[in-house]
Each structure stands twice: as structure tokens, then as C-alpha cells.
């Protein structure tokens, strides 16, 4: 093969990929049109967790301890590299909080309790429009790259374990 695209191959533009990713996120809502309306009007849609994905709530202090940074652009780079999936930031609920999106069924066996709970079931999460990638308000630290893009649960567990060790090194030995 000479590196050229095969004739008839489909190449998605960034806009096409964003549209497909947005449609995937909207399918988490029982009425996808409602999610689209909320994104248009408020920039954030309330999506139920547990259908297409779950979310691990990560306290800012834990994340910053694990990666060694607090500066937003460095946090984004570090989370992109270590979690390899979408992460939402929200500071309006309980201080600086990050939400790593994972497979919905991983939440059924998640064992980190209140330190880093996995939200699913009857819980709704404010999910920003894809282009909301900076404050104010809820935004994507790492936006999903494609339909079905999620963090691997074992990578989220590793981040939590490193953060816990950094916050209380004597207790984890």
C-alpha cells in the first residue's frame, strides 16, 4: 500500500466526528432531543448515568495529588495521558470535582466508596456541550474523541491509588 486512501473510503471531518459523538451522548437521555435542547439553551445537559456510561467522581485534591499539577492546562494534558478517555470538570457542586466517564457496568462492582464513588442508576450528571472546554461552569477537561469513548476503569483505579498514596503515604504502606 502506498499510503493513499482506498477508493471509496470514508473520511470523517472533525465536525462529522463531533456530531456523531454528540449523538452518542444524547442517546443516554430518554429523550435525546431534550439533551440537544439543553445543550443549545444552557450549554449543559442533565444525562442519566447507567445506560451508556457511568461516572467516577474524583475530588480535585485527589486528582491533583496523583498527577502533581493544579494548573488547568497541565491537568488536562496529564488526565488525557493517564486516563485516555473523557473527563468533565465541575466546581459548582462540592469544590473542584472531576468526573471520569467509564463503562456503565463497571459501576456495578466499583469498590472505592465515598472517596471516589461511581455514579450510576438514578443519578444524573451535567454533561457539557462538546465545545465547552474551559470555565466558567461545567466543562470538558478531556472531551470524548468518538462515539463510545470512555476511560478504562483500571486506569481510573490507578489514578485513585496514586492520589491516595500521595495524600497519605504512611497509611498505604
Q: Is residue 9 part of a domain?
A: no
7 confidence band (pLDDT: 50, 70, 90): low
Q: Is residue 42 part of a domain?
A: yes
Per-residue pLDDT, 93: 60
Per-residue pLDDT, 172: 45
CB 89 within 8 A of CB 138: yes
Residue 143: CB atoms within 10 Å? 20
Q: Is residue 173 part of a domain?
A: no
Q: Is the pLDDT confidence value at 2 over 90?
A: no
Q: Is residue 172 part of a domain?
A: no
Q: Is the pLDDT confidence value at 173 over 70?
A: no
Q: Is the pLDDT confidence value at 5 over 60?
A: no
Q: Is residue 6 part of a domain?
A: no
Beta strands per DSSP E along 18-169: 44-48, 53-59, 87-90, 97-103, 118-119, 124-128, 139-142
Q: Is residue 3 part of a domain?
A: no
CB 132 within 8 A of CB 140: yes
Q: For residue range 105-155, list pLDDT tens digits in order.
A: 988 889 898 889 999 988 999 999 999 999 889 999 999 999 999 999 999
- Please tell me the distance from the alpha carbon of residue 51 to that of residue 29, in angstroms, as a whole number: 9
90 confidence band (pLDDT: 50, 70, 90): very high
DSSP labels for 70-101?
Answer: -SHHHHHHHHHHHH-S-EEEE-TTTSSEEEEE
Q: Is residue 2 part of a domain?
A: no
Per-residue pLDDT, 94: 65
Count of structural domains, the chain: 1
- Please tell me the distance from the alpha carbon of residue 97 to that of residue 92, in angstroms, as a whole number: 8
Q: Which domain holds residue 29?
A: 14-167
Average pLDDT value for the chain: 91
Q: Is residue 105 part of a domain?
A: yes
Residue among 143, 37, 135 at smallest CA distance from 92: 135
Amino acid at each position: 500500500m502506498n499510503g493513499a486512501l482506498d477508493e471509496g473510503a470514508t473520511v470523517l471531518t472533525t465536525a462529522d466526528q463531533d456530531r456523531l459523538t454528540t449523538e452518542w451522548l444524547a442517546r443516554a437521555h430518554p429523550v435525546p432531543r431534550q439533551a440537544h435542547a439543553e445543550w443549545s439553551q444552557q450549554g449543559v445537559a442533565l444525562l442519566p448515568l447507567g445506560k451508556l456510561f457511568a461516572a467516577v467522581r474524583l475530588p480535585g485534591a485527589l486528582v491533583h495529588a496523583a498527577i502533581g499539577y493544579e494548573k488547568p492546562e497541565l491537568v488536562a494534558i496529564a488526565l488525557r495521558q493517564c486516563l485516555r478517555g473523557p473527563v468533565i470538570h465541575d466546581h459548582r457542586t462540592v469544590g473542584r470535582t472531576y468526573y471520569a466517564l467509564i463503562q456503565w457496568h463497571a459501576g456495578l462492582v466499583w469498590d472505592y466508596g465515598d472517596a471516589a464513588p461511581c455514579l450510576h442508576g438514578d443519578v444524573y450528571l451535567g454533561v457539557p456541550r462538546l465545545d465547552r472546554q474551559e470555565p466558567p461552569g461545567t466543562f470538558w477537561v478531556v472531551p470524548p474523541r468518538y462515539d463510545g469513548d470512555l476511560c478504562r476503569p483500571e486506569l481510573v483505579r490507578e489514578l485513585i491509588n496514586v492520589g491516595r498514596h500521595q495524600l497519605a503515604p504512611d497509611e498505604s504502606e
